[in-house]
């Protein structure tokens, strides 16, 4: 399976291929200075410069079982990673942006990072705890860890929480059973304390990983075919764009991907482009 790391101009729809690899790569982040991407693969985290697109491994100390939930602080000084090296299930850590020893954030596991508040003080993530009765819900905590706060309930599954650039909302995807044996994963938003929950999509697609643009105008997200369970890899999916206040989405690109395509925030700082990963099966 070939990996293609690419960016798209949301106005023209033009794709720019940044890097191709025979190795499996996932989940690009755009650095705040706009000069490079971060991607993960085979348990490690890499830099990928636009000027010299080669993979450069980032030192994450003992953490060598990273999943694809990673990101960069708004001020560009810290990385956040989700890793299972010492905990068997995913745990959240911070690392200096140039690499170094991980500092543990979440006391409890499993915890999967997804969003950073624009003031740099708070992390948003999904976690399963004894009190969530086997479901993943949205939590927040200070970057330093300390105490965590559960801010969703009554969902069968939540994922992908991401802050709006003004810090006023957290977007996420949530699944609720319809009472007739079926279920639907749609996009939602809420205040950072969990108040004012609003459903933002209501269609037959299975919608995941909403990411607000830095200028606050749009939400980019991944749309699976109706009936898809979870967020599997190697599926025909669509990258979609919708207004930040809701409304009809438009399809930017149909591709072969899914898990790993846009799991984490991937907008360019100028809001004109975002990064993603697609895959090409071997012929």
> Would you state the structure tokens that stand for residue 65, as one six-digit string?
């079982």
- The pLDDT assigned to 29 comes to 98
Nearest 10 degrees: CA dihedral of 158, 164, 168, 170?
0
* Mean pLDDT, residues 106-125 taken together: 98
- At a CB cut-off of 8 Å and minimum separation 6, what does 52 contact? none
- The pLDDT assigned to 184 comes to 83
> Would you state the structure tokens that stand for residue 48, as one six-digit string?
């990928």
Question: What's the CATH number of domain 2-280, 3.40.50.800, 2.40.10.10, 2.120.10.30, 1.10.287.110?
Answer: 2.120.10.30
> Would you state the structure tokens that stand for residue 216, as one six-digit string?
């606050």
List the domain boundaries for the chain.
2-280
Percent of the chain exceeding pLDDT 90 equals 95
> Would you state the structure tokens that stand for residue 76, as one six-digit string?
């560009």
Residue-wise pLDDT tens digits, 148-178: 999 999 999 999 999 999 999 999 999 987 6
Taking residue 237's Cβ as centre, other Cβ atoms within 10 Å add up to: 27
Is the pLDDT score of 68 beyond 60? yes
Work out the mean pLDDT of the chain and round it to a whole number. Answer: 96
Percent of the chain exceeding pLDDT 70 equals 98
Taking residue 247's Cβ as centre, other Cβ atoms within 10 Å add up to: 10
């Amino acid at each position: 399976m070939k990996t293609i790391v690419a960016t798209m101009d949301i106005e023209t729809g033009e794709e720019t291929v940044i890097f191709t690899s025979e190795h499996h790569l996932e989940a690009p982040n755009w650095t705040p200075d706009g000069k490079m991407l971060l991607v993960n693969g085979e348990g490690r985290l890499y830099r990928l410069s636009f000027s010299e697109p080669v993979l450069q491994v980032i030192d994450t100390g003992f953490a060598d079982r990273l999943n694809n939930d990673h990101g960069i602080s708004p001020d560009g000084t810290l990385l956040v990673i989700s890793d299972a090296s010492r905990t068997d299930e995913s745990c959240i850590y911070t690392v200096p942006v140039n690499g170094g020893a991980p500092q543990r954030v979440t006391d409890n596991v499993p915890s999967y990072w997804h969003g950073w508040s624009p003031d740099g003080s708070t992390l948003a993530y999904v976690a399963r705890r004894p009190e969530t009765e086997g479901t993943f819900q949205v939590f927040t905590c200070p970057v330093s860890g300390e105490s965590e706060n559960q801010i969703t309930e009554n969902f069968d599954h939540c994922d992908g929480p991401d802050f709006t650039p003004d810090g006023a909302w957290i977007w996420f995807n949530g699944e609720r059973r319809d009472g007739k044996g079926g279920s639907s994963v749609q996009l939602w938003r809420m205040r950072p304390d969990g108040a004012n929950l609003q459903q933002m999509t209501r269609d037959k697609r299975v919608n995941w990983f909403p990411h607000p643009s830095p200028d606050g105008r749009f939400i980019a997200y991944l749309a699976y075919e109706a009936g898809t369970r979870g967020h599997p890899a190697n599926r025909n999916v669509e990258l979609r764009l919708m207004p930040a206040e809701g409304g009809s989405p438009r399809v930017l690109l149909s591709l072969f991907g899914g898990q790993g395509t846009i799991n984490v925030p991937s907008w360019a700082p100028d809001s004109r482009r975002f990064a993603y990963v697609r895959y090409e099966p071997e012929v």
